[in-house]
Structure 1
Amino acid sequence: MNNEAERTYEIMEVCLLAGKIMLQSGGETYRVEDTMMRMAASFGIEKSHSYVTPTGIIFSAEGSEPTKTKLIRISERSTDLEKVAIVNSISRKISSGDLNSREAMKQLKEIEAKDLSFPFRMQVAAASLASGCFMIMFKGEWNDFLPSMIAGGAGYLSFVYFHRFVPIKFFSEFLAAFVIGLLSLLFVIIGVGHQLDKIIIGSVMPLVPGLLVTNAIRDLMAGHLVSGLSKGAEAFLTAFAIGAGIAVILKFL
């Protein structure tokens, strides 16, 4: 009886760790729940239930013993879809019988500890290039390409560094948008930039919560109303922070 209980707890730990990694890396709520229950079923727990919100995961397993339930808190969320794909791959291996619970736990812990994101310099360079390209896409002029690149790269750099000192996303996004607006205005004043609106629009695009909006809509369509509304509210706050940062600068015009 004790061995069965220990095995059930071990399986629950594997499922919870997989769900935690996916949720922290930008996975959709319904995908996290489905993956956890499929993994539990593959390990022999036919009746399992998972309830996922952006800030926590509740998972329970039914068996011969009384139902066991565990809760974990999610405090940090980012975007790392490579980790989501790797966890999905591990789930498929479990379903096919190629991994046992201990091997799966070992691989999941390795994934959790790894930083699979691109080098920071590359992220800033990508944000700069994307800003310039978005500016052109919104029918801006080519002579504003370089100012948009500089403002977008500086804004993304500011967002990362501000978030390290003030771990509140709203203030980091507000200050990053403020930097973008300030630089864009300076470029126009000194004559380097010409279309202030196009430069600002292109530069703030790397800060726009596109994945968050997409996941919120997908969760709402899948029936996960709490998670969908929570992510939608987070996306709204991000958009408000960006708009407020730009509005402060435009107030001085």
Structure 2
Amino acid sequence: MKTELVETYEIMEVCLLAGKLMLQSGGETYRVEDTMTRIAASFGVEQSHSYVTPTGIVFSIEAVEPTKTKLIRIVERTTDLTKVAQVNSISRRISSGELTVSEAHKLLKDMERVSVSYALWIQVAAASISSACFLIMFQGGWNDFIPALFTGGLGYTFFVYLHRIVQIKFFAEFLSATMIGLLSLLFVWLGIGNEIDKIIIGSVMPLVPGLLITNAVRDLMAGHLVSGLSKGAEAFLTAFAIGSGIAVVLSLF
């Protein structure tokens, strides 16, 4: 009985770790809950229940008496779809019987320790190119392509480093948007850029919470009202921070 109890607790740890990694990396609420339930069922635990919000996971199993329930907090959230895909891959391997509980737990622990995100220079380069391309997409002129390229890249770099110092994401986004507004204004004042509105719009796009908005709508459609409204509120705060930073610059100058 004691051996069975220990094994059941190990299964719970695997499920919680998989859910934590997915939620921290930008996975949808329904996907996290489904993955945890499937992993538990693959290891022989048919009666499991999960409740996931953007800031926490509650998981319960009824395979043993008394019922075991555990809560973990989610503090940091980012966008790392590669890690979400890797957790999905491990989940499929568990479902097909390729991994034991210990092997799955080790793989997930190794994944938790290793950062699979792109190097900072690649992220900055992607932000720069996407900013310039968004400017063209929003019918901006080719004369503003280079200003948007530099403004978007510098703004995103400023956001990354500032967020490491200021843990409150709202202020990092607000100050980054303010810097983008100042840089756009500077390019136009120097005569390098022409349309300040197009430069600003293209440059702030890397900061726009597109994944949050998508996940919020998806969770609401799936009936996860708490998670959907929470992610929607977070996306609104990000949009408000970006808009406020730009508004401050335009109102002052």
TM-score interval (norm. to shorter): over 0.9
Deviation of the 1:64 alpha carbon = 3.9
Question: TM-score normalized by structure 1?
Answer: 0.99
Across the aligned residues of Structure 1 and Structure 2, the Cα RMSD in angstroms comes to 0.6
- Asked if 1:125 is matched to 2:131, the reply is no
Q: Which residue of 1 aligns with 2:112?
A: 112
Return the alpha-carbon distance in structure 2 between the equivalents of residues 234 and 74 of structure 1: 15
Q: Which residue of 2 aligns with 1:166?
A: 166
Q: Deviations over 1:152-179 (max 9, x none)?
A: 0010001001101101100000010000
Deviation of the 1:67 alpha carbon = 0.9
Q: Deviations over 1:102-149 (max 9, x none)?
A: 000000011111111111111101100110000000000000000001
Q: Deviations over 1:190-216 (max 9, x none)?
A: 111100000000000000000000000
Identity, in percent, stands at: 72
Deviation of the 1:65 alpha carbon = 1.6
Q: Secondary structure at the match of 1:251?
A: helix
The residue type paired with residue 144 of structure 1 is D
Q: Which residue of 2 aligns with 1:224?
A: 224
Return the alpha-carbon distance in structure 1 between the equivalents of residues 188 and 175 of structure 2: 20
The 1:86–1:153 alpha-carbon spacing in structure 2 relative to 1, beyond 3 Å, is: same
Q: Which residue of 2 aligns with 1:23?
A: 23
Deviation of the 1:5 alpha carbon = 1.1
The residue type paired with residue 57 of structure 2 is I
The residue type paired with residue 212 of structure 1 is L
- Asked if 1:183 is matched to 2:183, the reply is yes
Return the alpha-carbon distance in structure 2 between the equivalents of residues 12 and 63 of structure 1: 11
Deviation of the 1:222 alpha carbon = 0.3
Return the alpha-carbon distance in structure 2 between the equivalents of residues 126 and 89 of structure 1: 26
Deviation of the 1:252 alpha carbon = 1.9
Deviation of the 1:3 alpha carbon = 1.2
Question: TM-score normalized by structure 2?
Answer: 0.99
- Asked if 1:150 is matched to 2:153, the reply is no
Q: Secondary structure at the match of 1:99?
A: coil
Q: Which residue of 1 aligns with 2:210?
A: 210
Return the alpha-carbon distance in structure 1 between the equivalents of residues 190 and 51 of structure 2: 55
Q: Which residue of 2 aligns with 1:49?
A: 49
How many pairs align? 253
Deviation of the 1:229 alpha carbon = 0.2
- Asked if 1:97 is matched to 2:97, the reply is yes
Return the alpha-carbon distance in structure 2 between the equivalents of residues 176 and 135 of structure 1: 18
- On the 8 A contact 2:5/2:64 being kept in 1, the answer is no
Return the alpha-carbon distance in structure 2 between the equivalents of residues 108 and 3 of structure 1: 22
Q: Secondary structure at the match of 2:116?
A: coil
Return the alpha-carbon distance in structure 1 between the equivalents of residues 249 and 66 of structure 2: 60
Q: Secondary structure at the match of 2:66?
A: coil
Higher deviation after alignment, 183-192 or 62-71: 62-71
Q: Unmatched 5+ residue regions in structure 1?
A: none
Q: Which residue of 2 aligns with 1:76?
A: 76
Return the alpha-carbon distance in structure 2 between the equivalents of residues 163 and 63 of structure 1: 43
Q: Deviations over 1:78-125 (max 9, x none)?
A: 000011111111111111110000000000011111111111111101
- Asked if 1:134 is matched to 2:134, the reply is yes
Higher deviation after alignment, 204-213 or 1-10: 1-10
Return the alpha-carbon distance in structure 2 between the equivalents of residues 161 and 248 of structure 1: 21
Return the alpha-carbon distance in structure 2 between the equivalents of residues 106 and 146 of structure 1: 47
Pairing of 1:58-69 with structure 2 (within 5 A): 58-69=58-69
Q: Which residue of 1 aligns with 2:249?
A: 249
Q: Secondary structure at the match of 1:51?
A: strand
The residue type paired with residue 63 of structure 2 is G
The residue type paired with residue 118 of structure 1 is Y
The residue type paired with residue 90 of structure 1 is I
Return the alpha-carbon distance in structure 2 between the equivalents of residues 101 and 65 of structure 1: 20
Return the alpha-carbon distance in structure 2 between the equivalents of residues 118 and 10 of structure 1: 32
Q: Which residue of 1 aligns with 2:88?
A: 88
